[in-house]
């Protein structure tokens, strides 16, 4: 049941959200108990935001921080609706949304591949707050963020 909820979240994110395909996002981990989520993606020419430096576009960084924190929010949503029919869960997942987000750009987005890690710092019945960090393949933290989500 739990595995099935996580599977629904994965399918929803990777197959139904076209912009996640543009970013080339993969999901490395979704932890039901803690709400932790880990995503990864590779640098491609399309994701560049500074031609001289060849670094990630700030919008890519913000997008990945938002969507990885969003996975944590969806896990919290799935836990709250545990036991309900899949079609109800799908509807709840699709109605959850980001309320606001802060992104701090700590270092230039240099790297060949990136990993983004989110953990839940507030898990309410309606509000989930996640803390999210983006690292490159050398484990240098490139950006950090905090995002607030409304879960249905």
Among 9, 35, 41, 70, binds a copy of itself (CB under 8 A): 70
* Strand, coil or helix: 108: coil
Among 8, 92, 131, 140, binds a copy of itself (CB under 8 A): 131
CB of 70 to a copy of itself, least distance (A): 7
Angle subtended by helix axes 58-80 and 2-15, to nearest 10: 150
Among 2, 4, 7, 22, binds a copy of itself (CB under 8 A): 22
CA distance 20 to 16: 9
Among 24, 32, 49, 79, binds a copy of itself (CB under 8 A): 49
**Cβ neighbours of residue 24 closer than 8 Å, sequence gap 6 or more:** 41, 42, 44, 47
Question: In this structure, are residues 41 and 114 in contact, taking their beta carbons and an 8 Å threshold?
Answer: yes
Q: Of 25 and 30, which has the nearer Cβ to a copy of itself?
A: 25
Among 28, 42, 59, 113, binds a copy of itself (CB under 8 A): 59
Question: In this structure, are residues 103 and 61 in contact, taking their beta carbons and an 8 Å threshold?
Answer: yes
* Strand, coil or helix: 16: coil
CB of 82 to a copy of itself, least distance (A): 21
Site string for a copy of itself, 81-120 (x = CB under 8 A): -------------x--xxxxxxxxxxxx------------
Classify the C-alpha dihedral 18-116-11-150 as positive or negative: negative
152 binds a copy of itself (CB under 8 A): no
**Cβ neighbours of residue 124 closer than 8 Å, sequence gap 6 or more:** none
Q: Of 6 and 133, which has the nearer Cβ to a copy of itself?
A: 133
Among 47, 71, 73, 89, binds a copy of itself (CB under 8 A): 47
């Amino acid at each position: 049941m739990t595995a099935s909820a996580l599977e629904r979240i994965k399918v929803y994110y990777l197959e139904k959200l076209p912009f996640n395909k543009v970013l080339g996002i993969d999901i490395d981990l979704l932890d039901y108990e803690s709400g932790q989520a880990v995503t990864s993606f590779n640098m491609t020419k399309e994701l560049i935001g500074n031609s001289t430096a060849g670094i990630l576009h700030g919008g890519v960084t913000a997008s990945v921080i938002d969507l990885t924190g969003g996975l944590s929010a969806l896990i919290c949503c799935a836990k709250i609706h545990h036991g309900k029919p899949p079609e109800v869960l799908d509807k709840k997942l699709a109605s959850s949304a980001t309320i606001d987000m802060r992104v701090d750009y700590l270092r230039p987005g240099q790297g060949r591949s990136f990993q983004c890690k989110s953990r839940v710092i507030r898990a309410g019945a309606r509000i989930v707050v996640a803390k999210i960090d983006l690292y490159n393949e050398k484990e240098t933290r490139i950006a950090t963020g905090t995002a607030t989500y409304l879960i249905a």
